[in-house]
């Protein structure tokens, strides 16, 4: 069995929302450069994903949402869906590739072909709601992965941790009435998308953090709120929306995490996966906009996943 699959799609580097947009192709280049410099590449099984199918998308999005995005895809230039979210001629194929990577990650892990997987893809997905793209996101990658695990493998308990600095509003929106999915999101509050702090639910655990919260506050939140809930839920698969924009060097937010905090939370999720689901875990990239900090943080995340 391969220990850690590193799943990508070629078009993910072609999606471009403009020269000064923070969600840029350079993000993936920075990750690859740091993995090479850190000597991790030989320890990862590199896999190219196939694009997601309509069925993967329509498990978590309305048919109208899917059709609207296909129709909006430009043949040239850039088309804005909102002030922050835009499509170029490669955006649709990149978004389909990102979802396809997450679905493939679930397949590899559930079929015993990999212990765990990381999807180095963009655009991110966790802000995309059932009927709305927003926040740099078009299709909800992690939600599609969870729905695929439930539909294809009959799982009854899938747990998602979202440690992006922004609340995973899209994932909450999609699974708010789905108790087979336990969703835990840590996020800066008040902050974009200005949702989640008041949610009351047995299977959605939102953990708002004040601006300036450092690793000790983040670790306390995970230890006291997330880990006990995951243990009680006993997931058959763990998924991670891995956003690295809570890093203290990130220009878009105001939390103060460092690489060691991302290594620590990855260790906690791996321990939970070992306790409950034979180590089955799939992580997919969300935010992170200081490219140097992103590369360092993802490298530590993968170092733990691959047990190097």
Count of Cβ atoms closer than 10 Å to residue 258 Cβ: 18
Percent of the chain whose pLDDT exceeds 70: 100
Q: What is the CATH number of the domain that holds 73?
A: 3.40.800.20
Sign of CA dihedral 54, 55, 56, 59: positive
User: Cβ neighbours of residue 252 under 8 Å, at least 6 residues apart?
Assistant: 22, 165, 245, 287, 289
Residue 304: name the closest of 264, 274, 273 by CA.
264
- Round to whole Å and give the CA distance between 93 and 96: 5
- Round to whole Å and give the CA distance between 58 and 274: 31
> Which alpha helices (H) appear in the chain, and where do they start and end?
26-37, 54-58, 63-72, 91-110, 141-153, 169-175, 215-221, 227-233, 259-277, 291-305
Catalytic: which of 9, 61, 126, 127?
A: 127
The domain of 182 spans 2-305
User: pLDDT tens digit string along 60-109?
Assistant: 999 999 999 999 999 999 999 999 999 999 999 999 999 999 999 999 99
Q: Report the DSSP pairing between strands 85-87 and 79-82.
A: antiparallel
| DSSP-based helix, strand, coil % in the chain, nearest 5 | 40, 20, 40
Overall number of domains in the chain: 1
Confidence of residue 154 (pLDDT cuts 50, 70, 90): very high
Determine the 3-state secondary structure of 187 from DSSP: strand
Q: Give the pLDDT confidence score for residue 208 in this predicted structure.
A: 98
User: pLDDT tens digit string along 16-53?
Assistant: 999 999 999 999 999 999 999 999 999 999 999 999 99
User: pLDDT tens digit string along 181-233?
Assistant: 999 999 999 999 999 999 999 999 999 999 999 999 999 999 999 999 999 99
203 catalytic, yes or no?
Answer: no
């Amino acid at each position: 069995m391969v220990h850690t699959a590193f799943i990508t799609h070629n078009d993910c580097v072609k999606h471009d929302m403009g020269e000064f947009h923070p969600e840029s192709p350079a993000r993936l280049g920075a990750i690859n450069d740091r993995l090479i410099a850190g000597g991790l590449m030989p320890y990862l099984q590199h896999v190219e994903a196939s694009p997601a199918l309509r069925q993967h998308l329509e498990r978590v999005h309305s048919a109208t949402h899917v059709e609207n995005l296909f129709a909006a895809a430009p043949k040239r230039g850039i088309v804005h869906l909102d002030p922050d979210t835009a499509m170029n001629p490669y955006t649709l194929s990149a978004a389909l590739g990102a979802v396809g990577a997450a679905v493939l990650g679930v397949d590899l892990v559930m079929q015993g072909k990999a212990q765990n997987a990381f999807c180095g893809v963009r655009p991110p997905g966790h802000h995309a709601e059932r009927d709305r793209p927003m926040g740099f996101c078009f299709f909800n990658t992690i939600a599609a992965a969870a729905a695929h695990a439930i539909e294809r493998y009959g799982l009854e308990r899938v747990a998602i941790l979202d440690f992006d600095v922004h609340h995973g509003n899209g994932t909450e929106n999609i699974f708010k009435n789905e108790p087979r999915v336990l969703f835990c999101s840590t996020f800066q509050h008040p902050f974009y998308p200005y949702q989640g702090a008041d949610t009351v639910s047995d299977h959605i655990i939102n953990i708002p953090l004040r601006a300036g919260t450092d690793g000790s506050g983040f670790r306390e939140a995970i230890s006291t709120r997330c880990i006990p809930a995951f243990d009680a839920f006993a997931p058959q698969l763990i998924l991670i929306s891995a956003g690295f924009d809570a890093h203290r060097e990130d220009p878009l937010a105001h939390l103060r995490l460092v690489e060691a905090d991302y290594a620590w939370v990855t260790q906690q999720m791996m321990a939970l996966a070992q306790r409950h689901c034979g180590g089955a875990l799939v992580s997919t990239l969300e935010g992170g906009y200081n490219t140097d900090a992103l590369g360092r943080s993802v490298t530590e995340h993968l170092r733990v996943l691959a047990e190097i």
